[in-house]
Amino acid sequence: MDRLPRIGLGWDRHALAAGHTCKLAGLEIDCPVGPVGHSDADVILHALTDALLGAAGLDDLGTLFADTDPRWKDAASTDFLAAAVGLLADSSLRVISVDMVVVCDLPRLAPHRGAMRANLARLLSLPVNRVNLKGKTTEGGPANASAAIEVHAIVMLKDVTPSGGCA
């Protein structure tokens, strides 16, 4: 088995609606609208988890934690991320860097960006400088753009299989 780094890409999009808790990157954000979903709808953690699973050659989030499965109703997306990190460890893979772009008009990301990076770094046991996240607005995109939040995530993994073992 080669030990080259692995890259993974994740994407997710949720509608935003009033009356929904705005949970992003594992943090509750004060915002009049929040992502709508079966779990806690943490779109940042969903894109990140899918990127990790993709890099490891594993099934995607929707397959592992189907939104039709009552077990995941209102589930904490931090549990999905922790499960993915566990699967990576089972495959002797460890995440070494994460970069993300979050596209939304609400909430405004800038005031929360530092706390989000810190929390993602904590969840992944990485230094904060290995986890980045940028907020972008839709800049007058489709009329209903402000009613959704979209996240792109890219990750790099390294193979941490102990060297010198027998094949």
- For residues 65 and 119, which CB has a smaller minimum distance to Zn ion in the complex? 65
* Minimum CB distance to Zn ion, residue 18 (Å): 19
For residue 39, give Cα distances in angstroms to 7, 59, 76, 143, 159.
26, 18, 6, 27, 31
Window contacting Zn ion (CB under 5 A); options: 42-50, 52-60, 131-139, 150-158: 42-50
Contacting residue, 46, 112, 117, 152, with Zn ion by CB under 5 A: 46
Size of the site for Zn ion (CB under 5 A): 2
List the structure tokens of 124: 């992944």
Question: Interface residues for Zn ion in 9-28 (CB under 5 A)?
Answer: 12
Window contacting Zn ion (CB under 5 A); options: 38-46, 106-114, 143-151, 159-167: 38-46
User: In 3D, which of 81, 97, 87, 95 has the Cα closest to residue 26?
Assistant: 81
User: In 3D, which of 51, 50, 56 has the Cα closest to residue 91?
Assistant: 56
Please state, in angstroms and rounded to a whole number, the distance separating the CA atoms of residues 8 and 53: 7
117 binds Zn ion (CB under 5 A): no
* Minimum CB distance to Zn ion, residue 64 (Å): 13
Contacts to Zn ion by CB under 5 A: 12, 46
